[in-house]
Amino acid sequence: MKKLLVIQLDEPYFLFETALMLQRYREALKDFEITLLVENESFKQILDGSCTFPQITTSNIQDIAGKRFDVSVNLSLKETSWEIHKDIISEKKIGAFNQDGLLHVPDQWSSYLLTLKAKAPFLTFHLQDIYKNVLGIRKIATPKKNKKTYQQLVFSLCHTSFFSPREQEQFIQNVNQNYPHLNIVDISEIDLVSDLSHVLYVGPTCLEALKICEDGATGIFLSSKFQGFNLIPHDEGHYFLSSKRKQFLADELISFIDAEILQKEITGDFPFAIYVTEEEHLFGSFLKSLNSSDENYPIYQSHVVLWNYLLNLFDVGLEITSCSTEQLDTLRNQKEVLQKLIRLYDYAMSSIDTIHSEARAVSTNAESIQGHLKNLQDIEQISDKIAQTHMYLRPIIDFYRIRRGQNTGTTLLEQTQHTFLTYSEEHQALRALLELFTVTLSKNEVSI
């Protein structure tokens, strides 16, 4: 049997999702004996029956030192994992590792994973989908959920900035009055090894809520703003509700609970934004808006379409959102910055083209080369400042900066060719994102 090492040294949430992914796709990995390297404190926090681990799970690096693996995979965002992965003896390394003082990230999905270090405004893909794509798994493991009859409602206190204590108390009273058969309990009272298919969770996103919903409960997650797949279960049928930076009101929220408990169609007249986890496709799942959405949801849609195409050449057809004035203003601002960034990269490719021509010439002009190299350094600094000040564009800028860093050319000509190709790819990706923003704007402006 082949041997697979998976390195996951991040916080409990990341380890939990890694363990679930390995569990759900065990059939796809049946030819491998899996060893999971974990961070000890994270490991201890999820040893509660919420997930199962590979038979060989360790936090001691000495347990794997000197052993040979057919494949080693680094799913950790911690920079210490890069050195650990470097020292692993494996036929094939997937994910980040250091070598000769440089960071090597051989595959594109691992490059995308590293963009999460910058804490993007929303998580475009579910962590399990990112991990399975890093491993190259092309299977769907999530069955469709059937409608449920709820017997318990688990309520967890929300932050008072978007759900006041008085309104939370009123909400509990409303549930008691409308559904006296429902047993309302705190999340700390839930037994993770019991059948949770009859449980409805209402509250904020957190690791404990994620555990019970991945184990069968249905989640209605409350937040002040859209955050993508951060701490949301993988399978379909869970809801994410955003107050859109306002306050939730008990009477409004109970009307949504009524629709879910009574299995009625959810209408679009709620004052808050409603999203549902959509059924999984080959490369992952996405969040679908059921009514008016947050300011960044149209941008999330564009990212879903763009990244699925860039990473897998897979087209995702999403219905264009009917945008509010604020959403249109956000899109226009992003479009303007994108246009400037595209022009900046026009200059970059012009400089690279000149360097390439000089590198091929019989007699090179060193002064010209140095001048254009200085141009590229200046452009990199400007794009870095744009990345730091424009959170919606940062993932794509970071992604291609990582890809440019994988330049293995040994001559100026080879290095220039690689740099030109990555700049060209980024240029095309930025133009595609600009087109997605433009289409959304055009469709909405026509309907206004």
* Secondary structure, 3-state, 54-95: CCEEECCHHHCCCCEEEEEEECCCCCHHHHHHHHCEEEEEEC
205-222 per-position pLDDT tens digit: 999 999 999 999 999 999
Phi, psi of 223 (to 5 degrees): -155, 170
305-342 per-position pLDDT tens digit: 999 999 987 777 777 888 888 889 999 999 999 999 99
Q: Do 2-134 and 152-290 show the same overall fold?
A: yes
The predicted model scores a pTM of: 0.92
**pLDDT at res. 145:** 64
**pLDDT at res. 448:** 43
CATH fold, domain 2-134, is: Rossmann fold (3.40.50)
- Collect the ranges in the chain with pLDDT lower than 70: 142-147, 267-268, 279-280, 362, 364, 446-448
Spatial contact of 272 and 244, defined as CB atoms under 8 Å apart: yes
Spatial contact of 32 and 5, defined as CB atoms under 8 Å apart: no
CATH architecture entry for 152-290: 3-Layer(aba) Sandwich (3.40)
Alpha-carbon gap, residue 6 to 17, rounded angstroms:
13
**pLDDT at res. 341:** 94
SS (H, E, C) 189-217: HCCCCCCCCCEEEEEECCHHHHHHHHCCC
Domain limits of the chain?
2-134, 152-290, 325-447
Spatial contact of 84 and 20, defined as CB atoms under 8 Å apart: no
